[in-house]
Structure 1
Amino acid sequence: MDYNVLSDTAILQKLGEFVKHHRMNQQKSQDQLATEAGMSRSTLSLLERGEKVNLITLIQVLRVLNQLHWLESFEVKQEISPMDYIKLQKKHERQRIRNVNMAAENPPSEW
Structure 2
Amino acid sequence: MVKTNNNLIQMSDSALIGQIGIFIKGKRTDKNLTQAQLAQASGLNRWTISQIENGESINISSLIQILRALDSLYVLSEFEYKEVISPLEYAKLKKKQKQRVRNQSRKTPDNEDLGW
Measured against the shorter chain, the TM-score band is: 0.7 to 0.9
CA distance 1:16–1:87, change in 2 (3 Å): same
Q: Deviations over 1:29-87 (max 9, x none)?
A: 11000011111101100001111111111111001111111111111211112232112
Which stretch of structure 1 is more off in the superposition, 82-91 or 31-40? 82-91
**SS in structure 2 opposite 1:87?**
helix
Once residues 98 and 51 of structure 1 are traced to their aligned partners in structure 2, the CA distance between those partners, rounded to angstroms, is 67
Match for residue 3 of structure 1? Answer: 8
Indicate how the Cα distance of structure 1 residues 98 and 21 shifts in structure 2: closer, same or farther if over 3 A, else same: same
- Structure of higher CA gyration radius: 1
Which residue of structure 2 aligns with residue 105 of structure 1?
Answer: 115
- Aligned pair count? 105
In 2 relative to 1, CA 88–99 (structure 1 residues): closer, same or farther, beyond 3 Å? closer
Structure 2: 5+ residue runs without aligned partners? none
CA distance in 2, matches of 1:34, 1:51: 16
Tell me the equivalent position of 2:41. Answer: 36
Cα-Cα RMSD: 2.0
Report % sequence identity: 37
Work out the CA distance in 2 between the residues paired with 1:54 and 1:95: 55
Provide the secondary structure at the position in 2 that maps to 1:27: coil
Could you tell which deviates more after superposition, 5-14 or 87-96? 87-96
SS at match of 2:55: coil
**1:62 and 2:72 aligned:** no
Q: Give the TM-score of the pair, scaled to structure 2.
A: 0.79
TM-score in terms of structure 1 length: 0.82
2:77 corresponds to: 72
Q: Can you give the 5+ residue segments of structure 1 that lack an aligned partner in the other structure?
A: 107-111
